[in-house]
Amino acid sequence: MTIHNRGDSLFSDCFSDHAAGYASSRPGYPPLLGRWLAEQVSSHALAWDVGTGSGQGAKLLSPFFDRVVATDASKQQLEHAVPVSNVTYYQANEEKSGLAKGSVSLVSSFQAAHWFDLERFYQEVNRIVFPGALCALIGYGRVQVSRRVDAEVESLYSTVLGGWWPDRRKLVEQHYQPIPFPFREIPFSGFTLEREWTASQFIAYLSSWSSVLKYRKAREEDPLDLFKVCLRPLWGEGVRRVSWPLFGRVGYCKEQTR
């Protein structure tokens, strides 16, 4: 897969050193979400997925749009994106889509908007969209398995790793509500990510957390060692259902002209 470069990036990158693990362990998005986003716009010629990482959002949109341009600041992340025939990947940040003025009907960001320079991002959105286009900033909340597993995850997240999360992680915890959103917002709810995972797959997902990566690098030890011991009897054998509630800020960038 060829990765084009649209210029240097300015936004934070916590995952390039673990790009392969991130790509293999992060959950994909439900196809119903891609269909719903497509139903909100009148044109399906072109979508821009910004902060695409290893392409989970771009892959979601690809069946519903003729063409998807997917950008990310991290070349390492993009190198692990799954090639899709109608998806073009570019290395670029949130202010440099490289797309023509008034050409885009959907701008999407999945679990990435908290890293953006939002003022510059919104300037680029307003440049490239046409009337009736949609901007969707979507994320997922804390992982859920069962009452007892969730309690152990909460202890890991808040106590063991509490001081290792980047400050912008708080925007995810607050479901992006504090961020400015200068578009006509529409309701967004009812979508959930679900997977059937083994304990090993669940640990791989936790290992991709930015706080775990920072902890390991700084202290040269694994914060998951004790958690693994606690998890084993709670999980049991085989697979369990793992879920993440989705949240989002979704709205029309420009009103349709009549």
pLDDT value at residue 255: 59
Q: Which domain holds residue 135?
A: 4-252
- Residues 197-216 have pLDDT tens digits of 999 999 999 998 999 999 99
Query: Model confidence at 9, in pLDDT bands (50, 70, 90)?
Result: very low
pLDDT tens digits along 46-79: 999 999 999 999 999 999 999 999 999 988 889 9
Whether 258 is covered by a domain: the verdict is no
How many of the other CB atoms lie within 10 Å of CB of 252?
A: 18
Tell me: pLDDT of 257 over 50: no
Structure tokens at 39: 């139903």
Is the Cβ–Cβ distance between 192 and 241 less than 8 Å? no
Residues 139-161, mean pLDDT to the nearest whole number: 96
For residue 163, give both structure tokens.
């001081």
DSSP 177: T
The domain total for the chain is: 1
Which CATH number do you get for residue 11? 3.40.50.150
Grade residue 16 by pLDDT with cuts at 50, 70 and 90.
very low
Question: Which one, of 33, 72, 34, lies nearest residue 52 by Cα?
Answer: 72
DSSP state of 144: B
Q: What is the residue whose two structure tokens read 């011991």?
A: 229
257 in a structural domain? no
Task: Copy the structure tokens of residue 43.
Answer: 């044109």
Q: Write down the mean pLDDT value for the chain.
A: 89
Give the HSE-up count for residue 142: Cα atoms under 13 Å, Cβ half-sphere.
Answer: 17
Amino acid making up residue 52? T
